[in-house]
Amino acid sequence: MNSKLKNNFPTPVNRLWRTYVKYTKLIPLVLLAACGGDQVADTQPQKWQGAEVRVESRPSPPRLGVNEFLVIVTGERGPIHDVMVSIRTDDQDQWIQAIQDGEVGVYRRAAKVDLGTRSVLQVQMKRNGAEGVLRFPMNLSP
């Protein structure tokens, strides 16, 4: 509708037109959200010293080659940000310390992923003198 013509309509018609335009812009967003499907986690969460540890990859699911991993550590009271997190994908590799992403319990690092031994992400956790290693098997994208 031409804006010159719209401004000549009485006020209730203008309100109706603005409402129509506002909600027709939302329809494609609603349709996209409905067609998005369920997001599947890369791995199942694991527990370490009362904390829940989850791993997400970028891209998701991980592909052969270098991928970024997010290790998310949360406790009963929210994010845990006083943990030293390191990762690797093979027993022969050196541990690589993950970078803390603020104080929100998220730690990031990239690692090489491949078939065989490099299809399991190993996460080393250190906190208050305690140390542990969690293993997260990955379902690789074809």
What DSSP letter does each residue of the chain carry, written as one string?
--HHHHHTS-HHHHHHHHHHHHHHHHHHHHHHHHHS-PPPPSS--EEETTEEEEEEEESSS--SEEEEEEEEEEETTEE--S-EEEEESSTTSPPEEPEE-TTSSEEEEEEEE-SGGGGEEEEEEEETTEEEEEEEE-----
- 26-64 confidence digits (pLDDT tens): 555 444 444 443 344 568 999 999 999 999 999 989 999
In this structure, what token pair is assigned to residue 27? Answer: 């329809």
The parts of the chain modelled with pLDDT lower than 50 are 29-40
Class of domain 46-137: mainly beta
Instruction: Please state the domain extents for the chain.
Output: 3-35, 46-137
In this structure, what token pair is assigned to residue 50? Answer: 């009362």
User: In this structure, is the dihedral angle defined by the CA atoms of residues 51, 140, 86 and 124, taken in order, positive or negative?
Assistant: positive
User: In this structure, is the dihedral angle defined by the CA atoms of residues 115, 95, 54 and 30, taken in order, positive or negative?
Assistant: negative
Query: What backbone phi and psi angles, to 5 degrees, belong to 19?
Result: -65, -45
pLDDT at 38: 39
pLDDT at 57: 94
